[in-house]
Amino acid sequence: MVTLTLHCVHCGSDQLVRNGRASNGKQRYKCRACGRQSRENPSPNGYSEERRSEILKALHERSSLRGIERTFGVSRNTVTAWMKKDLRRGNSQVRGSRAA
Ligand SMILES: [Zn+2]
């Protein structure tokens, strides 16, 4: 039997307490260390906003999708989708340039 240890996606603490259910039926947890909410089993594409901006920031700095892919274990398709979303929201720092 696999014991799943949950960690807070925000601070990495394992001090999570059950905190009701999300609208999609997933168990929600609240972190006692930082007080923020976490979801159970976030899907591979369900990166947190913070994680996403961290990755996008790294991408701006290194401009290498392949490097990002290796470093963060996120597929370049995912990152590319985020960049497009960012462009649509008009808050991209790479205005005028395009990801190859
Ligand atoms: Zn936390």
pTM above 0.75, yes or no: no
pLDDT band at 26 (very low <50, low <70, confident <90, very high): confident
54 has pLDDT over 80: yes
Find the 15 Cα to ligand 1 centroid distance in Å. 8
Cα end-to-end span (Å), the chain: 45
Find the 45 Cα to ligand 1 centroid distance in Å. 20
Residue 68, judged by CB atoms within 10 A of its CB (0-12, 13-18, 19+), counts as buried
Q: What is the mean pLDDT of the chain?
A: 78
Find the 74 Cα to ligand 1 centroid distance in Å. 22
pLDDT at residue 31 in the model: 92
Find the 13 Cα to ligand 1 centroid distance in Å. 5
- Phi and psi based region of residue 25 (left: phi greater than 0; alpha: psi -120 to 50; beta: remaining): left
Find the 60 Cα to ligand 1 centroid distance in Å. 27
